[in-house]
Amino acid sequence: MSRFVQLHVLTSYPPSNLNRDDTGRPKTALMGDALRLRISSQSQKRAWRTSDIFETALAGHVGTRTKDMGKRVHDVLIAAGVSDKNAREWARQIVGKFGKLKSEKKAEKDEDLQIEQLAHFSPEEVEAVEQLAQTCATRNAGPTEEELKLLRTPRKAADIAMFGRMLADSPAFNMEAAIQVAHAITVHKSAVEDDYFSAVDDLNNGLTDKGAAHIGERSYGAGLFYLYICIDRALLVDNLGGDKTLADKALQAFVHAVTKVSPTGMQNSHASRAYASYVLAEKGDQQPRSLAQAFLKPVKPFEGEDMLEKAVKAIEARRANFDKVYGACADARYAINAETGEGSLDELIRFTQE
């Protein structure tokens, strides 16, 4: 089995705002002295791991990323008839093993039941937490120190195995990500544009109040994005406790999501859902490398040329040149191209698994 699988993905998004910055505008990056639109890796991974594809294909093998596990424990204890005082104390003891508590005192928003930072709970840990809550409720007594050893090395959470996790207070239970995801950038120069809009009051007949009932402005951008992904298959299998079958299921769900799932930002306003137009997959034991350098010079088609076709040629030329200079950078390659109808998603998945 080859250790690394690399994916080079081109996806075209129409006017959209899939991933906003702190001002509400689409994220950008300066590359090759040209401004590009950008979609962060965090945004993409969030969309994939919460997608219907993951939930269906990896049912029972997806973790829970939350600050609020203490509220769930508290609710379980209250439902079992435990007093609020005891339920809060025991819930704090349980979730405190996963991170520092936000507050030691009861607050209006139950901050005493929250931890300060998001923790990624594996299915095994969620099960252990819920079982301990039930045990405490049944005997009407708090958890023991032995019972509070709830942290596990995740072996069933495919999303944690793929994207890793960090527990600052318990580094022994951290997990290194088996999949590295770059920020997606447009292959061409891009501009953020502003959309002025207005809304009309349906009950205003225009006789008393004329004009719009509301006006506003939103930003958007459009472009052809390049995304680079590196998969360490050996680490993925190791993260899953040697379960090759689960690793294959995880890869299948992952490739499906990468090619079909878009970030959710402002989808209701733009319906900017898109499938990947082109994917080049490479596998081998060689040191991985991105092909983003193919777009240091922004793609700028001449009249009559196709943007996607020119971007594909840029990727293939960069790949070939790397091979000439450094020797074969992969042992095998497979590509799908929705523009020309070449390849298939099923074959691409098989290629990543073999």
- pLDDT of 203 over the 80 cut: no
333: phi then psi, degrees, rounded to nearest 5? -140, 150
168 pLDDT band (50/70/90 cuts)? Answer: confident
d(CA 178, CA 164): 7
* DSSP line for 257-306: HHHHPPP-TTHHHH------SEEEEEEESSPP---GGGGSS---PPTT--
Please work out, in degrees rounded to the nearest 5, the angle formed at the alpha carbon of residue 108 by the alpha carbons of 106 and 114: 60
Q: What percent of the chain has pLDDT over 90?
A: 83
Q: What is the mean pLDDT of residues 29-53?
A: 96
- pLDDT of 208 over the 70 cut: no
- Over the stretch 71-92, which tens digit does the pLDDT of each residue have? 999 999 999 999 999 999 999 9
d(CA 190, CA 331): 35
Q: Look-up: residue for tokens 């790949």?
A: 319
E-strand ranges in the chain read 4-16, 28-31, 34-39, 64-66, 119-121, 179-181, 184-186, 193-199, 214-232, 278-284, 332-337
96 pLDDT band (50/70/90 cuts)? Answer: very high
- pLDDT of 207 over the 70 cut: no
Question: Helices 244-260 and 345-353, interaxial angle, to 10°?
Answer: 140
- Over the stretch 232-264, which tens digit does the pLDDT of each residue have? 999 999 999 999 999 999 999 999 999 999 998
What is the SS3 assignment for 98?
coil
Higher pLDDT, 3 or 1: 3
> pTM of the full predicted structure?
0.93
| Straight-line distance from the first to the last Cα atom of the chain, in angstroms, rounded to the nearest whole number | 7
- pLDDT of 328 over the 90 cut: yes
In a 13 Å sphere around the CA of 228, the CA atoms on its Cβ side amount to: 14
Q: Specify whether the CB–CB gap between 199 and 214 falls below 8 A.
A: yes
Q: Specify whether the CB–CB gap between 116 and 67 falls below 8 A.
A: yes
Output the average pLDDT for the chain.
Answer: 94
Long-range contacts of 343-347 (CB under 8 A, 24+ apart): 345/255, 345/256, 345/259
Contacts of 41 (CB under 8 A, 6+ apart): 181, 182, 183
Structure tokens at 267: 């989808």
Report pLDDT for 205: 66
Q: What is the mean pLDDT of residues 310-330?
A: 97
Q: What is the mean pLDDT of residues 32-52?
A: 96
Structure tokens at 34: 């040209």
- Which of 307, 317, 49, 45 lies closest to 188, judged by CA? 307
Q: What percent of the chain has pLDDT over 70?
A: 98
Report pLDDT for 209: 67
Q: Look-up: residue for tokens 């093998």?
A: 61
- pLDDT of 28 over the 80 cut: yes
What is the SS3 assignment for 215?
strand
- Over the stretch 273-286, which tens digit does the pLDDT of each residue have? 999 999 999 999 99
Higher pLDDT, 326 or 102: 326
d(CA 42, CA 240): 22
